[in-house]
Amino acid sequence: MFQKDLFKDKVVLVTGGRSGIGYAISQMMLELGAKVVIASRKEDLLKQAAEELSQYGECSYLACDIRESDQRTALMEKIKADNGRLDILVNNAGGQFPAPAETISENGWDAVINNNLNGTFHMSSLMARHFFIPQKEGCIINIIANIYRGFPSMVHTGAARAGVENLTKTLAVEWGDYNIRVNAIAPGTIESSGLDTYPKPVQDILGEARAAVPLKRFGTVTEIANTTCFLASPLASYISGVSLYVDGAQHLNGGDPMKLTRLMRAFTKSR
């Protein structure tokens, strides 16, 4: 769909690029000529993904927990040593667990905020200071979630993603001085490896949730990759500071938002 060499010579970092949405973004960027670096925690799976992705172009990897300062720094140093520059950062790594708010422990809250909010900000700040600001050019894309009506059953990630949505606006304004564009994508429910990690109550409501989406289906990882490539490309050269919902209008009408919370309460009690 895009011009074949759209990202020729561009260096792209995709956090969480070993699976699901991040893998699809990495594959599409590679097919469009980019050099892609993927980073996430599980080194074996990351290495395997990088080897598979190498059939599409130049893909390298480094294990990195985005919550750990020294690991983020090692990743930045590797990109500098290997490529000397970074053009596009896709903050896709993230995750949470469904739980009624009253059952989330302090550590559970902190783990999710550190992952989705703190990890995203610190990664953005580091890459901006070392690459985008000196280069006077850069592009950041933050993958968030559908937080339009809060996020019942996932209050921690709703709060974290709302923080990312807001920092997307602030950084777009502050770093406009350095010609850095910053945008977010809010996927609705996407058929991906991520969904398989969720417990039974989530699996039980998927059919009903799918039917409630105005477009009557969940999204695909390719649809999120398409949007990422669009926002990273010159086609979007005047777009900065937006959060684009890619969700078949699910944020406007997505069924009963409390159903999962009620099922999770019963599920938690039964264990």
Ligand X SMILES: CCC/C=C/C(=O)SCCNC(=O)CCNC(=O)[C@H](O)C(C)(C)COP(=O)([O-])OP(=O)([O-])OC[C@H]1O[C@@H](n2cnc3c(N)ncnc32)[C@H](O)[C@@H]1OP(=O)([O-])[O-]
Which residue number, 83 or 96, has a Cβ lying nearer to ligand X? 96
Q: 270: which DSSP letter?
A: H
- What are the backbone dihedrals phi and psi of residue 101, each rounded to the nearest 5 degrees, phi first? -50, -40
Residues 128-147 that bind ligand X (CB under 6 A): 145
DSSP H/E element including 48? helix 43-53
Residue 17 as a binder of ligand X (CB under 6 A): the answer is: no
Which one of residues 55, 107, 237, 270 is an interface residue with ligand X (CB under 6 A)? 107
With CB cut-offs between 5 and 8 Å by kind, which of ligand NDP, ligand X, none does residue 108 bind?
A: ligand X
Query: How many separate helices (H) and strands (E) can be counted in the chain?
Result: 11, 9
With CB cut-offs between 5 and 8 Å by kind, which of ligand X, ligand NDP, none does residue 138 bind?
A: none
Residues 194-213 that bind ligand NDP (CB under 6 A): 194-195, 197
Stretch in the footprint of ligand X (CB under 6 A) among 27-35, 108-116, 161-169, 248-256: 108-116
Smallest distance, ligand NDP to C-beta of residue 24, A: 8
Binding-site size for ligand NDP (CB under 6 A) equals 32
Distance separating alpha carbons of residues 94 and 14, to the nearest angstrom: 12
Residues 164-203 that bind ligand X (CB under 6 A): 189, 194-195, 197
Tokens of 201: 């109550």
Residues 233-262 that bind ligand NDP (CB under 6 A): none
Q: Please identify the residue of the shown chain whose CB is closest to the bound ligand X.
A: 95
CB 268 within 8 A of CB 171: no
Which residue number, 95 or 176, has a Cβ lying nearer to ligand X? 95
Supply the DSSP string of 192-261, one letter for each residue.
SHHHHTS-HHHHHHHHHHHHHSTTSS-EEHHHHHHHHHHHHSGGGTT--S-EEEESTTTTTS-S-TTHHH
Q: Are strands 11-15 and 138-143 parallel, antiparallel or unpaired?
A: unpaired
Instruction: Give the list of residues 6+ apart from residue 198 with CB closer than 8 angstroms, or none.
Output: 98
Radius of gyration of the chain from Cα atoms?
18
Residue 237 as a binder of ligand X (CB under 6 A): the answer is: no
Which one of residues 26, 83, 92, 243 is an interface residue with ligand NDP (CB under 6 A)? 92
Q: 7: which DSSP letter?
A: T
Which residue number, 50 or 66, has a Cβ lying nearer to ligand NDP? 66
Give whole-number Cα distances, 255 to 17, 206, 213, 218, 251, in Å: 31, 11, 7, 13, 10
Smallest distance, ligand X to C-beta of residue 188, A: 8
With CB cut-offs between 5 and 8 Å by kind, which of ligand X, ligand NDP, none does residue 143 bind?
A: ligand NDP
Residue numbers of the site for ligand X (CB under 6 A)? 95-97, 99, 105, 107-108, 111-112, 115, 145, 189, 194-195, 197
Residue numbers of the site for ligand NDP (CB under 6 A)? 15-16, 18-22, 40-42, 45-46, 64-67, 92-95, 115, 119, 143, 145, 187, 189-190, 192-195, 197
